[in-house]
Structure 1
Amino acid sequence: MQEIERKFLVHSDVYKREAFKSSKIAQGFLNSEKSRTVRVRITDKKGFLTVKGLSSASGLSRFEWETEVPYEEAKALLKLCEPGQIEKRRYYVNVGKHIFEVDEFYGENQGLTIAEIELSTEDETFETPDWLAKEVTGEVKYFNSMLSKTPYKQWT
């Protein structure tokens, strides 16, 4: 139940042509405290409830637990969430032996695109596609829970 991931900004939309699938995502946070977040997510027509713990000092890993919940229940839970829901389209791109998940944000976070890769260990190597830009792993302002509070459009 340990999640290890790295995050990168994206500087072009080439990933869209390389994607093997994409999904529309809506999500909100029942709790967005730094030490733990409780997220409700709807991906296409499936609901999920996720609990995440505090990130490690490097920002690479943290506790994550997720379970699928009925779609109608997820829709009801979204109504209970803190203000600032996240809307995005996620593209899934095979790069070498890994899958990059590229999130193109909408609404108040329009203009922001972030790629994530999940790893087995913190020092695992991986291929980097040309469309990756600056690494933002561990930068709190890029956490979805923070984007719901201080959206990209409000950054100076």
Structure 2
Amino acid sequence: MILLGLDPGLGTTGWGVIRAEGNRLSHVANGRLKTDSAEPLARRLSHLDSMLAAVIADHQPQAAAVEEVFVNTNPQSTLKLGQARGVILLGVARAGIEPGEYASRLVKKAVVGVGGAEKVQVHAMIARLLPGVVIDGPDAADALAVAITHAHHLASARRRP
């Protein structure tokens, strides 16, 4: 099964694609979708949607997961993150995929073992779980962590009677 993980952001959205075969996970691709902060909000959201559609078309995932929004101290930042996340959920749903949604703490706990893990720890653990991977920055590492978390949850759900 091909899984897409997404770490939403208006400026940069991380994405990661993995293959899950039983308990074995392997890296397929990862990257970042960037928008230009000088552009109007609507254009940035449209560009994010187009770039996500291209990733989905290129990799044809059967499953996807998105990190949930956390509340920043800056309400404007939280609102913009929520708008980007809405575009991402729409893009995934448009592709016919029901996305999993995971809190950041749950993703960190699933991958690192500690809900308060630092980005450096997530990056290091992704490198161990997906040997040979070249990670395109912290946003892509977080997205791969979301994909791995979703793979584990799907595998657990299949094992339940």
Report the TM-score when normalising by structure 2: 0.32
Report the TM-score when normalising by structure 1: 0.33
Structure with the higher strand share, 1 or 2: 1
